[in-house]
Chain A
Amino acid sequence: MSQFHVKRKDVNNVSIVYLKGYLDAHTAPEFEKTLQELVDENRVKIVVNLSELSYISSAGLGVFMGFIEDIRNKKGDIKIAEPSEKVFRVFDLLGFTVLYEIFHKEEEAVSKYSKS
């Protein structure tokens, strides 16, 4: 069974979601649950911190796609911070790099919200 852990931290009007472990078809529902909570609470300025994410599958990528349109319609966004080399490569191949803003540091992602 894949190990996966989601943690959420709210800082002012930005919510930071920390993903740890393997994000695949089995564990994707947990990530979905967190995003759904955020959308329900209308906390749509989201940063996803991937520093401790070791693997992401197409199902995991699908979770982002499932929420992004709705979030962007609500004038929010999902920004990605600190992906590992491997995870970044997956994003790169798929073309996620043109769909999402990816940052090397969590603070940069968070501060991007205040700048806009």
Chain B
Amino acid sequence: MKINKYHLFGVFLPLIMFILIALTDLNFLKFELFLADIARFRESVFVVILILIIWGLSRSRWIRNRTFIQKLVFSGLSIVMLTAILTLANRVSFSGLSGNVKISEKDIVLFAVLVGAAFLGCMTLIMLKQLIFINQGKKTEINFRLLLIFLFLHFVYILFGRDSYPSVSSDFGLFFDLSFMKNIFFYLFIIMAFINGFRCKWIHYLNKKQKVGFFVFFALIYPAAQYMTTQTPGSVAEMSTIVGQFFHSLSIFYLIYSGMALLGILLLLPSAGILDRRLNEIRSLQTLSSTIGSVFEKGELIGKSVELSRKVVNADFTWIELKNNSTYKLEGAHGISVNEIEKIPESVRKQIYKLVKDEKGPVLINNLPKKRETRDFRRWRHKAGSLLATMMRFKNKELGILCAIKKEMFGFTEDSRPLFQSFADQVSVALENSNLFQTTIEQKVYREELQMAHDAQMRILPRQMPEVEGVELGAYCMTANEIGGDFYDLIKVDDDRLDIVIGDVSGKGASAAFYMAELKGVIQALAPHFSSPKKILMEINGFAKNHFEPDTFVTMVYAILYPLKRKVHIVRAGHPPVALIRDDRIEWIETDGIGLGLVSNKFLNSSLRQKMIQLKKNDTVFFYTDGLIEARNSEGDEFGESKLEKVLIDLYGENPKSIIKKITARLSRYTRGVSRHDDVTFLTFKVIK
């Protein structure tokens, strides 16, 4: 133990002083009536020394760190030791009580032993204090302080509160002089001893075995303590009234405290067993709660659940079955291998399901072999006497069943049913959390991958508008989800040819995006080899018809622009019409055509018309996909073709970049608060020269 300054001042110094005072003048050991004042002084010093020792020991971390059981045992054994020491001291008489001042070695040894005893007594007092302070309440500190204060006042009264210095035998508190006034502080001390005696909270921390053990212990020590009270007047008192009074008071205090403790243990003994069980159950539930909070991995969760449920109801075997679609699958067992549980006869397991399903709460069967429905348990290799089983539910969803078996009949008590149910409820929550966690992880991974696909798709679209002499370009494309089926492309085939493509693969999501990427590749490959947009679309139709699923098709507008010649050839395959804005008026180009991938090339050839337009300066041509027209506002109304027409006329004369920006802004305003449900794409070019 670490020696700190408190030990120094409180314990060792006083002890050394004690010894020094004694050694310098051995006459101090002798008690002479006419040396009353010196005696008073000496006794006062002893009071101070005792106080210092007690104070020093109270600060000792070593003592404080002892467990309460150690303190109980130590204080009890100390009392026994003190009793022995005092008894022995009394057998060995001082040579010459009044008169002869002859000190023998025996006296010195005796004295040394008594110093040690005083020290021991102080330690006992401190330990008792710490036992009293377990589960400290509001008044604990005051009550104990009062105990010590009254004791101190009793000492003071003895020394200074009387006319003549007290004689040896007449001042021993309760048992020797019953006159009230002389002992008023001692009576108050005793009252406080009783009050403090109620503070035996440590009894609650003993399990049943320990309660019985300490009952016997205190019962054996009690007579010792009683005997000690009778021995405290005597040799010690002859040496020092104060030290004698100290031992006397200590013995009475211990007597009262241990008596109350004995009574307390006696009263709590019958319920000790149940209390232990309850504590065990609560601890298991606590362990389960903290486990649930931290375990998400299903396998581990199942393992812990069967293990803890077995502990909680003290079963021999437990197992868990989880619902998988509409069947139950055995997932884990404790106290027995899963294979053995599988060997339970099918008829019995069916019965268990039925019983568990019908019953509102947990099922408890205490006589399995005798009951008709569960008789077949006898065919199982292992003994099964009692069964506790319950359905695990989360918000009316059946998750599985939890079962516990005890080998003997009548193994489960009625009050284990609610316990088992609350356990199963916790497991249900944990299982659900585990599933959600799994799903969340999967969703997170999925979302991340979608985002990567979106980024990849955005990279497929033209990064910037190509530089074309005499023409300005602008474009906008936004997918509804992370990925979609809209696309556009601007292919500068040569200095006087720009191919403009806009398209929409039917459907949403991943497959549409893939087709879109493929088509873009196909178009880029085809463009340089064909000079007719119709021929190119025919090629694409062939590709789509063979390659896509029957319910997937593409709408497309293909325009070949010759900027220097100011000519544009347009073909429209099932796609929304193209707008030509000239001199504040709109002409809609809606040539015949069918979507690609729907019909054979032969059929398409006869239904697809190509148009050639001669362009003038300031002409603006606008392409879009149906996402723009079909965009809905918060009232569910579509943007519509007429609104688009108005906007385009309004914006005639502006350059393409500005047109794009303004339409984007108007669309945003229109659809504010509503999530997109289709991809939106539009592009435009203006002839500047």
Distance to closest chain A CB from B237 (angstroms): 96
Chain B: CB-nearest residue to A32: B551
The smallest C-beta distance from A71 to any residue of chain B, in angstroms, reads 12
On whether A66 and B555 interact (CB within 8 A), knowing A93-B576, A95-B598, the answer reads no
**Across-interface contacts of B506 in A (CB, < 8 A):** 58-59, 61-62
CA distance A94 to B593 in the complex (A): 7
Is B56 in the interface zone, CB < 8 Å from A? no
Cα separation A66 to B507 with both chains bound (whole Å): 13
- The answer to whether A65 touches B550 (Cβ under 8 A) is yes
Within 8 A of B (CB), among A62-111: 62-63, 65-66, 69, 93-96, 98-99
Nearest-CB residue, chain A, relative to B574: A94
Q: Is the CB of B575 within 8 A of A93?
A: yes
Q: A34-73 CB contact bits vs B (8 Å, 1 = yes)?
A: 0000000000000000000000011101110110010000
- Judging by beta carbons under 8 Å apart, are B577 and A62 in contact? no
Complex contacts, A95 vs chain B, CB 8 Å: 573-574, 592-595, 598, 607
Interchain CA distance A59-B626 in the complex, whole Å: 13
Known: A94-B595, A95-B574, A95-B595. A62 touches B507 (CB 8 A): yes
Q: What 0/1 pattern do residues 561 to 586 of B give for CB contact below 8 A with A?
A: 00000000000011111000000000
* Contact A25 B607, beta carbon cutoff 8 Å: no
Task: Indicate if B553 sits at the interface (CB-CB under 8 A).
Answer: yes
Given contacts A65-B553, A66-B551, is CB(A98)–CB(B507) below 8 Å? Answer: no
A57 and B594 contact, CB distance less than 8 A: no
| In the complex, chain B residues whose CB is within 8 Å of the CB of A57 | 678
Q: A95–B591 Cα gap in the complex (Å)?
A: 10
**Nearest CB to that of B552 among chain A residues?**
A62
Is the CB–CB distance between B598 and A58 below 8 Å? no
Whole-angstrom distance between the Cβ of B212 and the nearest chain A Cβ: 69
B551 touches A62 (CB 8 A): yes
Q: B45 — which chain A residues lie within 8 A by C-beta? A: none
Closest to A62 in B: B551
User: Do A66 and B553 have beta carbons less than 8 Å apart?
Assistant: no
Q: List the B residue with the shortest CB-CB distance to A90.
A: B626
Chain A residue contacts of B482, Cβ below 8 A: none
1/0 per residue, CB under 8 A from A, across B185-220: the answer is 000000000000000000000000000000000000
Inter-chain contacts of B598 with A (CB < 8 A) = 65, 95, 99
Interface size range on B against A:
20 to 34
- B507 A99 Cβ-Cβ under 8 A: no
Residue of A nearest to B678 (CB): A57
The reply to whether A94 and B551 form a contact with Cβ atoms under 8 Å apart is no
* Contact (Cβ within 8 A) A94 B594: yes
Q: Are A58's CB and B594's CB within 8 A? A: no
Q: Say how far B305's CB is from chain A's closest CB, in angstroms.
A: 37
Residues from chain A with Cβ under 8 Å of B592 in the complex: 95
Is the Cβ of B551 less than 8 Å from the Cβ of A99?
Answer: no
The digit string for B541-558, where 1 denotes a CB below 8 A from any CB of A, is 000000001111101000
* Chain A residues with a Cβ closer than 8 Å to the other chain, count: 17
Cβ B575 vs Cβ A98 within 8 A: no
Q: Is B534 an interface residue (CB 8 A)?
A: no
Cα distance A63–B607 in the bound complex, in angstroms: 22
A69 to B551 alpha-carbon distance, docked (Å): 11
Q: Which of A24, A25, A62, A98 contacts B553 (CB 8 A)?
A: A62
Q: Among B550, B577, B677, point to the contact of A69 (Cβ < 8 A).
A: B550
Considering the chains assembled together, what is the distance between the CA atoms of A62 and B504 in angstroms? Answer: 13
Q: How far does the Cβ of B597 sit from chain A's closest Cβ, in whole Å?
A: 9
Once the chains are docked, how many angstroms separate the CA of A100 from the CA of B548? 21
- Chain B residue nearest to A58 (CB atoms) is B506
Residues of B within 8 A of A96 (CB): 594
Q: Is B84 an interface residue (CB 8 A)?
A: no
Contacts of A24 in B (CB 8 A): 677
Q: How far is the CA of A94 from the CA of B596 in the complex (A)?
A: 9
Please state if B551 and A93 are interface contacts (CB–CB under 8 Å): no
Q: How far is the CA of A107 from the CA of B555 in the complex (A)?
A: 32
Q: How far is the CA of A98 from the CA of B599 in the complex (A)?
A: 10
Q: Quick one: closest A residue to B596, CB to CB?
A: A95
Q: Roughly how many angstroms separate A98 CA and B677 CA in the complex, as a whole number?
A: 28
Closest to B595 in A: A94
Contact partner of A58 among B549, B553, B573, B599, CB < 8 A?
B553
B553 in contact with A99 (CB, 8 Å): no
B508 sits at the interface (CB 8 A): yes
Q: Is the CB of B575 within 8 A of A58?
A: no
Nearest chain A CB to B485 CB, angstrom units: 8
Which A-chain residue is minimally distant from B505 (CB atoms)?
A58
Check A94 against B555 for contact (C-beta < 8 Å).
yes
Whether A58 contacts B607 in the complex (CB less than 8 A), given A93-B575, A93-B577, comes out as: no
Q: Smallest Cβ distance from B380 to chain A, in angstroms?
A: 48
- A99 vs B600: C-alpha distance when bound (angstroms): 11
List A contacts of B549 (CB < 8 A): 66
Residues on A with C-beta less than 8 A from B677 are: 24
Pairwise interchain contact B550-A58, C-beta atoms closer than 8 A: no
24 pairs across A/B with beta carbons < 8 Å? A25-B507, A25-B508, A58-B555, A59-B507, A61-B506, A61-B553, A62-B553, A65-B550, A65-B553, A65-B598, A66-B549, A93-B555, A93-B574, A93-B575, A93-B590, A94-B555, A94-B594, A95-B592, A95-B593, A95-B595, A95-B607, A98-B607, A99-B594, A99-B598
Question: When A and B form their complex, which 8 residue pairs have the shortest distance between CB atoms, in order from nearest?
Answer: A95-B594, A58-B506, A66-B551, A62-B551, A94-B574, A95-B574, A94-B595, A66-B550
- Contact residues of B with A, CB < 8 Å? 504, 506-508, 549-553, 555, 573-577, 590, 592-595, 598-599, 607, 677-678
